[in-house]
Amino acid sequence: MSGSFRTSMTAMLALLTVAGAASAAEMATLPPESAQGAVKYITGGIGYDEAEAMRQAVGRYPLAIELAARAAPRDVYLADVQVAIRDRSGKTVLATTTQGPFLLASLPPGRYTIDAETGGASQQKSVTVSSGLHQRVLFEFPAD
């Protein structure tokens, strides 16, 4: 085996080890996936490690919802927000209370209405989920 080939193989193995460790770290801190009907979702993001794991997982879910309250000097994340997602016909496809500031959902392509409620304040937004694309929706509530 030539020296350059051995060096290349060593570098490749090191890269695979680092990638595998990063993936394992993400899985260790990612909240468990839940399901309602055909919709799979995760919610969480409390603490730095879990929030980072959620950010890394965004690419695997067509819809990412982020929940915050306006505050100075910057917004603060919210948890315990009631979220309901309805399809075009008005059927609720997901209804849950978030366990952190992020909710990632695997929804089939289509148009959806999202309702979010916390502390007596509610907001509604519409989103179109398309195959192969990732949509991010931010709900920013008034500070208490």
| DSSP string over 82-98 | EEEEE-TTS-EEEEEE-
- The first and second tokens of residue 137, run together, are 């929706």
pLDDT band at 39 (very low <50, low <70, confident <90, very high): very high
- The first and second tokens of residue 2, run together, are 């030539």
- Asked if residue 16 has pLDDT above 90, the reply is no
- The first and second tokens of residue 17, run together, are 């080890």
| Percent of the chain residues topping a pLDDT of 70 | 81
Query: What span, in angstroms and rounded, lies between the C-alpha atoms of 121 and 127?
Result: 20
3-state percent breakdown (helix, strand, coil) of the chain, nearest 5: 30, 40, 30
Report the SS3 class of residue 34: strand
Q: In the Cβ-directed half-sphere of 48, how many Cα atoms lie within 13 Å? A: 0
| 14, 20, 21, 27 alpha-carbon torsion, rounded to 10° | 170
> What's the confidence (pLDDT) of residue 2?
52
> Mean pLDDT throughout 26-46?
88
Sequence-ordered list of residues with C-beta below 8 angstroms from that of 32, at least 6 positions apart, any chain: 42
Between 36 and 23, residue with greater pLDDT: 36
> What's the confidence (pLDDT) of residue 72?
85
